[in-house]
Amino acid sequence: MTRVSGKVVWITGASSGIGKALADAFAEEGADVILSGRRVEALNEVADGIAGDTLVLPFEATDYTALPKATETAWGWKGRVDILVNNAGVSQRSLAVDTAPEVYRDLIDVDLIAPIWLTQLQLPRMVDAGGAHIVAISSVAGRIGAPLRTAYCAAKHGLIGYMDALRAEADKPHNIKVTNVLPGSVATNVARNAMTGDGSARGRSDEAIDSGDDPADCAAAILDAVANNVPEIIFAKGMELEATKMRHANPDAFFEVIAGMGAQIVERQREEAEG
């Protein structure tokens, strides 16, 4: 079991939702927390609510020229980064046929390339430090192809693949642990901030998201997974959990179920578009 107390934890997307809940949870266990994201005021509010040491380190996840400097600052704060949590991201709510190609580029840039880039900058330092722990917040959409989320699924599937391969290379040789997290519906602004077919923010939430799990419960599950070096956790319930399991246990049945679900969603989207 890995002790979290006294560790330096760097969390991206820390201003709200799961990221904020993780900052609270790690701080409560005695960790020093680096808070990153775009919204400085929101990050400062999170920092003000944490009893332990915090460093507010704002940056845009896809500003790749800024990431080396951010890495220098993060490692210079306490001399190490023990746990990196790649949490920053954006979701999607649009049918593929209605989605501009640029949306795929932009979403995959945020949800896949950015966390890979930031992780790659940490690896040599983590190797030299004798080990670390990397957490990637993926999604159940990283395991199943969910309607209205073709770009999001592509990014989250890719993130799991990268992290699985990284674990295979870095776990035993370098003591770098990797935990993939696959949340289902968690009550955050993920649907409200989701990209639509033209790249604009959706501006409204989903009933499934609004009635989803408490971010604090998700954070507690992630904290437990990190403490116990668990390679992957699925934090979901109901149909989301069953579909995620069915994808591998009974793929033929899964594809039939998801096709029916997709057809219903397409019909509903068309009805809404026609007013």
SS3 175: coil
Look up residue 186 and give its DSSP letter: B
Cβ 102 vs Cβ 200: under 8 Å: no
The token pair that represents 62 in the structure block: 């896809």
The token pair that represents 262 in the structure block: 């997709």
CA 49-52-54 angle, to 5 degrees, is 80
> Cα separation of 177 and 163, whole Å?
10
> Cα separation of 159 and 136, whole Å?
8
DSSP for 200-224, please give it.
Answer: -B--S--HHHHTSB-HHHHHHHHHH
- The backbone torsions φ and ψ at residue 39, rounded to the nearest 5 degrees and listed phi first, read -95, 100
**Does the active-site annotation cover 152?**
yes
Residue positions counted in the chain: 275
With residues binned 3-state (H G I as helix, E B as strand, rest as coil), the percentages for the chain, rounded to 5, are 55, 15, 35
> Cα separation of 223 and 64, whole Å?
28
Q: Which of 64, 104, 152, 162 is catalytic?
A: 152
- The backbone torsions φ and ψ at residue 182, rounded to the nearest 5 degrees and listed phi first, read -115, 85
SS3 56: strand
User: Looking at the annotation, which residues are catalytic?
Assistant: 152
